[in-house]
Chain A
Amino acid sequence: MESPARYGTSLIAAVCFCGLLFLIPLAITFLTSFHNSPAMGVVGPEWTFANYTRLFRDDYFAGVLLTTLRLGVVTAAVATIVAYPLAYFIVRSSSRWVKVILALIIAPMFISSVVRALGWILVLGEFGPFNFALTSLGLLREPLKLTYNFTGVVIAVVHWVFPFVVLILVAAIHGVKPVLEEVAQDLGAGIWQTFMRVTLPLTFPGIVSAFLLALSATVSGYTTMILMGGGKVRVASMVVADYFRGVLDYPAGAAVAMVLLAATLALAVLGNATARRASLR
């Protein structure tokens, strides 16, 4: 049989590549977070926990973390709820439009997130088509403020994570055999009851996966948030960038980076656990 060393060369090459261009850079940031910062742009020689203790006593940072979490939860919830009916349609419908719709949903994955944010700024702006449509329909008396605030960020970030959420839900719903729903209806369950008692429970692990993916992506994201927030909505990734590009306090920035890293890893572990539980059933 195959000897264990069969892919030895590949193993060494892959580990070297990953070590040199991924692990060592991360390790340097990890170590930096435990150093002092004697001057701007200088990492001191002393070892300290001060960067972390200072962070957790900082009200500004607590506020930023709260905004980050709130944005993540709202975005993930909205994206999952909006995507579910669409994913259901994509799996169950026999319409010839399904292919086109799926392609349109996937297309934004290919398009730059900067361009997509620009699009939302134009669409949601005071003189944009969204406010124009709602005011001319008489639904609004004056334009809504939707750019450079929390609502605008939510809309653009939902748009950003949407294709990924749809794809996870499509896979989950695809796993539910249509015959189960038919049997429920034959036994007298209505459409709503069938959904609540059969489809929803069976796709619940998929819903959790989709939610966690959207949450994790939002918590760790940067580009869409900074463009849509215009500096008024502050999330954790922006604090990291500020420390490294503005204040030049590398150890403090590294500590924030490590907190952010720990949060996304925790979400990933949680996601893996739900995926594993789902496959055991």
Chain B
Amino acid sequence: MRAALHRGLVWVLLLLTVLFVCVPIVFVVVTSFNEKGIYLIRTGYQLSLHWYESLPKAFFSSFKVSLVVATASSAIALVPGIMAAFVIVRGQFPGKAMLTNLFLSPLILPLIVLGVSYYRYFLVVYDAAGVSLLDSYWGLILAHAGFTWAYVVRAVVAGLENFDLHLEEAAADLGAGRLYTTLRVTLPSIRPSIVAGTIFAFMISFDDVPVSLFLYSTRTTPLPIELMNYMSDNIDPYLTAMSSLTVFFSIALMVVVERTVGLRRFVGLREISA
């Protein structure tokens, strides 16, 4: 009797927690399919695609901006990120611990501080060299690459730490050169970590507000900024419809992650068989 009561209590608590986690996202999606607007409790619910059919064009161009910036920045961060991970795991030189902290520090620093720093940096670059990065995609892309690369570094470090060095020795014994061994043996066997790091970098860039806030222009407004600006004027069903589209996009990304590297490895819980 007491055990049953205990178990019941656990499940109620669990249900409430899961409800808390899911409710805001589910409610946005549910609202977006209501022809009568966002106050569905007062107006009633009528399923329709009405709001999706006439979404503001600015949403789509912003979606494209975010896609371009996130793809380009994670691509740029990829190779230096892998190199940094090799240095961290295998390099032996004085000051390595400090360098490791420096490489990984974008993971913990306030992004707003990085945002204003890139803004000032690009102003200084303009004054010195006459290259304007603030009015083009390049400012956003380079800034995003500069801080999302730490996610690549962290993931690849984890992969390299679990890599079996005997594989490299075997390749060397068979006469493979160092570069060949790295490209054909080491990198392919840590591919899941590389994929995980790149997807993480892509996600962080795609969702970013505090850095983009100082770097975007009217022609290059990333989607989160566009939604935020729209939201400060009014909250309407177009907003929930576009938000739902990004939720579907996120879920698709999550499925890709589960299929390629596995969700648990992605979030760093690989060793736990929950």
Contact = CB atoms under 8 A, between A and B. Distances in A.
Interface of A: 2, 4, 6-7, 9-11, 13-15, 17-18, 20-26, 28-29, 32, 82, 85-86, 89-91, 98-99, 101-116, 118-123, 127-129, 132, 156, 159, 162-163, 167, 170-171, 174, 191, 216, 219-223, 227, 237, 240-241, 244-245, 250, 253-254, 257-258, 260-261, 264-265, 268
A105 B6 CA distance: 23
Contacts of B147: 22
Contacts of B223: 112
A123 B119 contact: no
Given A101-B14, A220-B111, A223-B209, A250 B235 contact: no
Contacts of B271: 174
Contacts of B115: 241
Given A7-B90, A113-B209, A89 B10 contact: yes
A127 B38 CA distance: 10
B128 to A, nearest CB: 11
Nearest to A99: B274
Q: Is the interface of A mostly helix, strand, loop or mixed?
A: helix
Contacts, number: 256
B31 A167 contact: no
A17 B83 CA distance: 10
A104 B18 contact: yes
22 contacts: A2-B90, A4-B93, A9-B83, A11-B83, A11-B87, A18-B80, A21-B149, A22-B146, A25-B146, A85-B17, A101-B14, A104-B22, A106-B267, A108-B25, A118-B24, A119-B25, A119-B28, A123-B27, A128-B41, A171-B269, A220-B108, A222-B112
A208 to B, nearest CB: 16
B103 interface: yes
Contact of A14 (B80, B124, B272): B80
B14 A114 contact: no
Given A26-B117, A82-B17, 13 more contacts: A7-B91, A14-B80, A85-B10, A85-B13, A86-B13, A107-B250, A110-B257, A113-B207, A118-B227, A128-B27, A128-B41, A167-B268, A264-B108
